[in-house]
Structure 1
Amino acid sequence: MDTSLSIEQFTVEASNETKTRSLLDMRALYTIESLLSQGTTAKVYRAHTQAGQAVALKVLTAESAGQPQLLKLFHSEYTFLSRLCHDGLVRGFEYGEVNGLPAQSMTYIAGQTLDVFLSQQGRLDETMAVDITRQLAITLAYVHMQQIVHRDVKPANVMLTPNKKTVLFDFGAALDLSTADEHDSSKIYGTPAFLAPEQIIGHHNLDGRADLYGLGVMLYRMVTGRKPFYGSRQDVLDAHLTQLPLAPSQFVHVSPELEQLIIKALAKQPAMRFQSGSELADALAHVQLMPAPKRFAFFQPWYRWFNHR
């Protein structure tokens, strides 16, 4: 039985102002199968081409399409994804519309987001946490070489694939440093729990080191099972600016070398952190880790989850 869903089932009424009839009609290229995720600004569907190739189709909501800044960021995301080419990233294919709403197609990645995996596992053994972080550091090194800052590095924007690879996605908040003069430093982009201090204060010289801070927060979360700071949105933002996170060893038995690496990654001043994704990846490749006699117990659920998909 054909379980494909008609594109009309996902129609969202758009105002005359948000309709963009001059754009490519995605309905002529793709058939939507199912809803993958729904955020505040867009919905992402699994779809397929006439040849049967699976893609992810991201459609802006009517409300978001009516906001010029969000519309600009959405189109910028497509520009970034169509320009970037790396195994650790999704690739942008087409930009157009679905029933009058801006839409873009991109690589469909089978797997599980890191935030879902962490919610199931609590925390990861050092070997897995370091492997995930190192893969992402290498990916970010490439992104930063293209003069792009992601600005929203967090577990929810990382896919874990069945072959244990990481894929970074959602460039909806990304910044092109080559057009930095257009950067609105008065607005905070990203997720509070993973924001670098310079993102919070709106520093005009924002660069890739902000992404590496977010990656450091992720590593802290994977190793300890908790984020560095908790509280209201403002409490968390203030903590990133003024407080030192508790040492990971206060919560778990952790390698001294890895703990020092995490502390460096979370330095308040960009100059005190790792200066590039490549530098961080190299440090992770040589860090001395704690023995993990029960390592398989941590890996097994990942394998089991994929084997039963």
Structure 2
Amino acid sequence: MSKTPQTVGRYSLLKRLGKGGMGIVFKALTPVIERVVALKVLEPSEAMQITMDADQLEQIFLTEAKTQASLHHPHIASVWDFDRDQQGRPFFTMEYICNNLGIMLGERFEVEQPSRPIAAEKVLQYGVQMLDGLDYLHHRQIVHRDIKPHNILVTDEDRVKICDFGMALVSGVSFAGPPNMQIGSPYYTPPEQQKNPHQVDHRADCYSAAVLLYRMLTGSLPGMQSFPLSLINPRYDEQWDQFFHIGLQWDPDKRFQSAAEMKESLQNLSLHAPLCPVTTAPFPSLPVPEVLRDSPANLCGARARRQLDLTELNRPRRYIDSDFREHQHGIFDQATGLLWRPGGSDFPLSWKEACHYIHQLNDHPEAAIRSWRLPTISELLSLLDECYNQTAPELFNPGKQWIWSSDAHGSQERWFLNSDMGYAGIQDEDCPCYVFAVTTIDTW
């Protein structure tokens, strides 16, 4: 017999997503309509319970839920429902968004460790959207106080949304913890917030946003290197240096004085040509095995990284020198013997939908090939290009960067490739990714 799912209120819990100081967040299922949501239930950490009594903690949680529910903006995550569970604990539900900037950057528990940089064009896009959301918050007299990668969600449409208002300062009112209590996250918190978190204003969020933008561009924290951005990468000129010189000022009076001003300054920045233009010169290559693994596997933990020969940031240590050729049925890679169906699925699909999509390709009455399948993560990694860390332009359409593999990670997750940033990741099976079918040239 199958085990009855655990419930919180009327919602069935599917998976634990994470725990913070105030509560636990679950992936949950709405009854009847079976809509997947993110559910946050009050479950304060031991440190918070020592610091404050139960009534204070509940009031903070209620303030978070009410604050976020009152906000209506395309770059703010939405709250949908509020209730109490069987034990009387308050909880609220939000839209379930699979990705966030922390996942994309590969930011680890040791925050000071290097992360994956994001393409400058995308950083500009995300930065403008984030600052637009912050501008809205600040007009509502709300200071977020915890802007960091994991609190910036990334939707299927590649839009960012600010979430987690548990530390927010609302109309000058916040919970009164001990004077030395840390509010915010190390490295992203401005000096004045570390000294007196209850007296900060919107300029604190502007500082945190500048740290995050710098991290996205470089993969490092501003304090970890002392060189101006223009000396690190010739794509950036002195205007970028000036932007971060202002944004990262320790004195709030010398910073951008509003998110709107910061957004306008960001929009006025320009980029030089990429460091690594498209070229026909061969890249340093990896000897190709006789056959790349084509059977799905369940790859977990450090063993998976060793098997796939990935770095700590889940990028290939070496790259295969692919040799793509036009073929009547797709794009053929002579280096690996793989035939890829170009274009991919029209829309991002869940894992179950991805399997159905492959089945439909093979069952089509006019199909010339009936051996299409989902690629393994090893096969997807063979497409990566050392210069851009991106996949072959002949194969993939712009905007289809999240791509399913056939490989599992435990019982509820699958491996995927992010073709924009050139890394392998793990995704919940209910999350949407695109599908690019593959077959071996001698199987059809």
Would you call these one fold, judging by a TM-score over 0.5?
Answer: yes
- After TM superposition, give the deviation of residue 302 of structure 1 in Å: 3.9
Q: Which residue of 1 aligns with 2:289?
A: none
Between 69-78 and 169-178, the greater mean CA deviation after superposition: 69-78
Structure 2: distance between partners of 1:201 and 1:128: 34
Alignment match of 1:179 (pick from 167, 173, 186): 173
Equivalent position of 2:12 in the other structure: 31
- How many angstroms does 1:32 deviate by? 1.9
- Mean CA deviation greater in 212-221 or 264-273: 264-273
SS at match of 1:229: helix
Q: C-alpha distance in 2, partners of 1:4/1:112?
A: 28
Residue 153 of structure 2: aligned partner: 159
Secondary structure of 2:182's counterpart equals: coil
1:118 is aligned to 2:105: yes
Question: After superposition, where does 1:152-231 map in structure 2 within 5 Å?
Answer: 152-179=146-173, 186=179, 187-202=181-196, 205-229=199-223
Report the Cα distance in structure 2 between the residues aligned to 1:99 and 1:184, rounded to whole angstroms. Answer: 29
What is aligned with 1:235? Answer: none
Alignment of 1:1-309 (within 5 A): 5-7=5-7, 27=9, 29-50=10-31, 51-61=33-43, 63=45, 66=49, 67-68=52-53, 69-100=56-87, 102-119=89-106, 122-179=116-173, 186=179, 187-202=181-196, 205-229=199-223, 246-256=227-237, 257-292=239-274, 293=277, 297=390, 302-304=401-403, 305=418, 306-307=433-434
**Cα displacement (A) at 1:172:** 0.7
Q: Do the aligned residues in 2 keep the contact of 1:148 with 1:177 (CA within 8 Å)? A: yes
Q: Percent identity?
A: 26
TM-score with structure 1 length normalisation?
0.78
TM-score, structure 2 length as denominator?
Answer: 0.56
Distance (Å, rounded) in 2 between the aligned partners of 1:208 and 1:308: 42
CA shift for structure 1 position 220: 0.8
Instruction: Tell me: CA distance 1:73–1:287, structure 2 relative to 1, closer, same or farther (3 Å).
Output: same
Q: Matched residue of 1:297: which SS?
A: coil
Deviations 1:129-163 (A, max 9, x none): 11111110000000111111000000011111121
* Offset, 1:96: 3.0
Cα 1:261/1:54, change in 2 over 3 Å: same
Amino acid in the other structure paired with 2:260: S
Query: Does structure 2 conserve the Cα–Cα contact (< 8 Å) formed by 1:57 and 1:103?
Result: no
Task: Judge conservation of contact 1:55–1:105 (CA < 8 Å) in 2.
Answer: no
Alignment RMSD: 3.1
Structure with greater contact order relative to length (CA < 8 Å, sep ≥ 6):
1
Contact 1:62 1:101 in 2 (8 A): no
- Per the alignment, in what secondary structure is the counterpart of residue 84 of structure 2? strand
1:296 positional shift: 8.4
Count, aligned residues: 276
Shift of 1:38: 2.8
SS of alignment partner, residue 183 of structure 2: coil
* Partner Cα separation in structure 1 for residue 101 and residue 155 of structure 2: 10
State how far apart, in whole Å, the 2-side matches of 1:262 and 1:226 are: 14
User: Which amino acid in 2 is paired with 1:289?
Assistant: L
SS of equivalent residue, structure 2 residue 201: coil
Distance 2:189 2:226 in 1: 14
Shift of 1:105: 2.3
SS of the aligned residue for 1:56 comes to strand
Partner of 1:239: none
Do the aligned partners of residues 140 and 62 (structure 1) sit closer, same or farther apart at CA in structure 2, a change above 3 Å counting?
closer
Gaps of 5+ in 1: 8-25, 231-243
**Higher Cα Rg, which structure:** 2
Deviations 1:19-56 (A, max 9, x none): xxxxxxx52x3222222223344211122222223221
Tell me, in whole angstroms, the C-alpha distance in 1 between the residues paired with 2:124 and 2:273.
Answer: 13
